[in-house]
């Protein structure tokens, strides 16, 4: 039997949620996406952006699968293995029902995604797919970006305002630390926005799906750490000229002059590449 046929034999997502009494927990940042048309669209468009037909031969990770909407859509696209990481015991029992249908292609980890070494769990090629818990979306992203060379793609759903910060161009109010790090390390494609009405319960905000792929920039962990510290200082006083906001850095004016970066500029006027150049001088 084809994998897609096995998935189709499962109860509907709404039936599953009702059967398990699965009310979303605010403390876990849960908002469940129960429309399989949307979850299928996420995976379809992500694969298209990557020029792939499916996940054949790849190891895929999903964080916070909840009732399993994205889980089903990933499995229909033939991964070598899908590993789900879930903290909520109620959702683990739902994952087990899916595993009973699809077998060892699905691996279930009951634990905290922030504490998992994804690279040690499965070999390359690796992908991550997730409707991210809103309360830990940025810390998870930053952790994965620091190891982005180990992944072929990250297909992630964020609050729309967070996605806008990630993709923000210079000289905008949304441009900041996460914009710089993401744009130095990743090629980022926006797939589409998702209305609050598509979720249960409906959040107050829209969501956005982004796909991240490595730029193979060659940045070292030391350079990334320096960029994080530099941008933290620069954007903590974003309205000040950088000669003032970065005055704690030794010889900053000489560094800026050597790089032909005007010291009267503000943090939001420097490109990601310029922040990298400064980081390499300190």
pLDDT in tens, 7-46: 888 888 888 878 877 765 555 556 788 899 999 999 999 9
Claim to verify: residue 171 and residue 44 sit in the same structural domain: yes
Claim to verify: residue 207 and residue 152 sit in the same structural domain: yes
pLDDT of residue 25: 55
Backbone angles phi, psi at 82, to 5 degrees: -115, 120
Is 101 in a helix, a strand, or coil? helix
Backbone angles phi, psi at 183, to 5 degrees: -75, -20
pLDDT band with cut points at 50, 70 and 90 for residue 58: very high
The encoded tokens of residue 280 equal 């390499």
User: Where a domain ends, among 167, 198, 214?
Assistant: 214
Claim to verify: residue 234 and residue 141 sit in the same structural domain: no
Model confidence, pTM: 0.93
Alpha-carbon distances, residue 141 vs 19, 63, 133, 145, 199 (angstroms):
33, 12, 11, 6, 22
| Residue 5 pLDDT exceeds 70 | yes
Claim to verify: residue 195 and residue 75 sit in the same structural domain: yes
**pLDDT, tens only, 131-182:** 988 889 999 999 999 999 999 999 999 999 999 999 999 999 999 999 999 9
Question: What is the domain extent for residue 92?
Answer: 3-214
The encoded tokens of residue 209 equal 């799906």
User: CA-CA distance, 102 to 247, in Å (whole number)?
Assistant: 58
Do residues 198 and 32 make contact, with C-beta atoms less than 8 angstroms apart? no
Do residues 223 and 235 make contact, with C-beta atoms less than 8 angstroms apart? no
Mean pLDDT of 79-88: 95
User: Where a domain ends, among 214, 236, 263?
Assistant: 214
Domain total of the chain: 2
What sign results for the dihedral spanned by CA atoms 80, 31, 158, 49?
positive
189-195 contacts, C-beta under 8 A, 24 or more apart:
189/49, 189/213, 190/163, 191/42, 191/45, 191/46, 191/49, 191/155, 192/41, 192/45, 193/160, 194/33, 194/38, 194/157
Claim to verify: residue 53 and residue 193 sit in the same structural domain: yes
Backbone angles phi, psi at 27, to 5 degrees: -60, -25
Claim to verify: residue 171 and residue 50 sit in the same structural domain: yes
């Amino acid at each position: 039997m084809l994998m897609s046929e096995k998935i189709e034999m499962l109860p509907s997502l709404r039936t599953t949620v009702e059967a398990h009494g699965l009310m979303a927990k605010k403390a876990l940042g849960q908002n469940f996406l129960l429309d399989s048309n949307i979850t299928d669209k996420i995976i379809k468009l992500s694969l298209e952006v990557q020029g792939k037909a499916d996940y054949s031969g790849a190891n895929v990770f999903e964080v916070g699968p909840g009732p399993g909407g994205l889980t089903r859509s990933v499995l229909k696209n033939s991964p070598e293995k899908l590993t789900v990481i879930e903290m909520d015991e109620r959702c683990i029992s739902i994952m087990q029902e899916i595993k009973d249908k699809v077998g060892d292609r699905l691996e279930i980890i009951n634990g905290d995604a922030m504490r998992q070494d994804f690279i040690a769990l499965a070999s390359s090629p690796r992908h991550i797919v997730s409707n991210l818990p809103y309360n830990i979306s940025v810390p998870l992203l930053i952790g994965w970006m620091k190891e982005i060379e180990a992944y072929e793609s990250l297909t992630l759903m964020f609050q729309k305002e967070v996605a806008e910060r990630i993709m923000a161009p210079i000289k905008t109010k949304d441009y900041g630390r996460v914009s710089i790090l993401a744009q130095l390390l990743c090629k980022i494609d926006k797939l589409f926005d998702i209305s609050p009405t598509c979720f249960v319960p409906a959040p107050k905000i829209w969501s956005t799906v982004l796909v991240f792929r490595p730029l193979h920039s060659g940045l070292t962990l030391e350079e990334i750490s320096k960029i994080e510290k530099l941008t933290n200082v620069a954007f903590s006083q974003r309205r000040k000229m950088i000669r003032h906001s970065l005055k704690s850095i030794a010889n900053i004016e000489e560094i800026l002059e050597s790089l032909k970066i005007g010291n009267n500029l503000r943090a939001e006027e420097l490109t990601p590449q310029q922040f990298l150049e400064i980081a390499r001088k300190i």
